[in-house]
Amino acid sequence: MQTVYAGRCDEMDAITVSKSFEYNIGKLNELGVLQVALLPRFVEEGMQMLEEGKKKFRPTEEDRNPSLRLGENEFIRRMEDNFELKKHREAWCGCWDTHSDLVREAFSDFRKLPEYIKYAHAEERSFDKDKEFAILLFRYLMNREALTAVVGERSLLWEDDYEQIAQYNFMMLKTLTEENFDEAMMWPVMYDKRVEKDEADMDFARQLLRDTMACREEAEELTKSHLQGWEFDRVSKMDILLINMAVAEFTGCPSIPEKVTVDEYIELSKEFSSERSKLFINGILDKLVIELRSKGRIKKAGRGLVENYDMK
């Protein structure tokens, strides 16, 4: 959606739009690594701050004998040692080198929280406890506005992607166990060409992109024919794009039920378009399904699909 919208605004040709799409997908991997890389960087800066605290002119007892438990976190240590994540961090994570002050501020605030104090002084130690704390820390960092802003500066598209990628990373970190997490593990990213499912998903996305561009004129003419008391030029560009994508999915994705498509684009309209768009898009798509069916343009096949699905 972002790629097609940008392509229309900048009047890109199909080849340029496709290249832009591939580039933007690759940038999602960079965003994901930037997020998880905050964990080891946070620990590194935090441990350095604790060492500096010992050299204060008048150190407190806590300054002289700080808990080093965070620096010994086994889960984060394995992140630091993972070969692939190391390479990704070297390629993409230089921004944290120039914003160490923000990471330090985050550590200063975090170490005051009861969750940190409890962890730092707990006697029980295990990989699972370290993992639980690392995930709690990751959630804290992802909600730190100053750090989020640093990441957002690297790409305009990341403002919309940030939470989704953070949720992916959150779920991914939860899947790592003491048995499967080591230095040689293939680091999970949003899109990995080596993973069959990822490549299948990417092929689907490429096809939907091509279909959306190919049926643009048809989708716009269909939309015009069902407007009542409303000029096409006054319709939101985002609404037109979402309808265009829905038409491409109706006609080019035989395994996806029409209702699933309609619900999907209504949800997108809630996030990216106006407050009234969901009603407008729902009404137009309802009519388009009936017309496209009558013309034989919608052919659904697969388990659980009903040919005459009632859109009402």
Q: Is the pLDDT of residue 224 over 70?
A: yes
Residues 256/249, Cβ–Cβ less than 8 Å: yes
| Angstrom distances, CA of residue 307 to CA of 79, 249, 261 | 49, 16, 15
- Please tell me the predicted confidence (pLDDT) of residue 306: 45
How many C-beta neighbours within 10 Å does residue 86 have? Answer: 16
Q: Is the pLDDT of residue 308 over 50?
A: no
* Band (82; pLDDT cuts 50, 70, 90): very high
- Please tell me the predicted confidence (pLDDT) of residue 129: 96
- Please tell me the predicted confidence (pLDDT) of residue 311: 46
| Angstrom distances, CA of residue 88 to CA of 35, 37, 84, 91, 206 | 12, 9, 6, 5, 25
- Please tell me the predicted confidence (pLDDT) of residue 231: 85
Structural domains of the chain in order of their starting residue, each with its CATH number: 12-175 (no CATH), 215-294 (1.10.940.10)
**Percent helix, percent strand, percent coil in the chain, to nearest 5:** 70, 0, 30
Query: Which pTM value belongs to this model?
Result: 0.83
How confident is the model over 104-114, as pLDDT tens digits? 999 999 999 99
Q: Is the pLDDT of residue 304 over 80?
A: no
Q: Tokens at residue 125, please?
A: 């130690």
How confident is the model over 256-277, as pLDDT tens digits? 999 999 999 999 999 899 888 9
- Please tell me the predicted confidence (pLDDT) of residue 291: 93
